Amino acid sequence: MATCSQPQLNQILYEQDFYLWIQTTAQLLKERRFEEVEWSNLIEEIESMGRSEKKELKSRLIVLIEHLLKLIYWESEKAYNAKGWRNTIVEQKTEIELALEDSPSLRPLLSSLFLDCYQKARSNALQKYKLPPDFFPAKPPFTLEDVLNPEYLPE
């Protein structure tokens, strides 16, 4: 019966028990047993973590913008929903701030993501609530700096 090498065993773990694969890989790295590390999956997972951080930032920015739009423009629902919208705005700003504290290199990405996130937030809100296409402006009524400013909270 043929025996498997450590990288082959790690590949099997990767496919069958991801958590154990992480623990095993971390231990191999700590012990500097680099020849036993299954590198291709490790590299793939590290790259995936970066994509995940960026995706979370975009998602939070979209939610934040959507709630800002509702707070600014949706007068007929404002009396009933403004408190919840403001809570969501504050929460998303805090989470974005925390993400940027942990990964400052994400900050420069925000300016390139802003317009796309605005369009997605606008489109999402229009679709979710079956609002007319001109309900929210096609171009952002606020800047990225406004959106991220903890003091910016429209009435």
Q: What does the mean pLDDT of the chain come to?
A: 91
Place of tokens 């805090």: 94
| Per-residue model confidence (pLDDT) at position 129 | 95
Q: What is the pLDDT of residues 64-94, one digit of tens each?
A: 999 999 999 999 999 999 999 999 999 999 9
DSSP assignment, residue 34?
G
Is 8 a residue whose pLDDT tops 80?
Answer: no
Is 7 or 153 the better-scoring residue by pLDDT? Answer: 153
* Residue 99 near residue 106 (C-beta atoms within 8 A): yes
pTM: 0.81
Banded model confidence at residue 48, pLDDT cuts 50, 70, 90: confident
The contacts of residue 122 (CB under 8 Å, 6+ apart) are: 65, 66, 69, 136, 138
- What is the DSSP code string of 69-102? HHHHH-HHHHHHHHHHHHHHHHHHHHHHHHHHHH
Which pLDDT value is given to residue 1?
45
3-state secondary structure 21-65: HHHHHHHHHHCCCHHHCCHHHHHHHHHHHHHHHHHHHHHHHHHHH
**pLDDT per position as a tens digit, 133-142:** 999 999 999 9
Tens-digit pLDDT profile for residues 28-46:
999 999 988 888 889 998 8
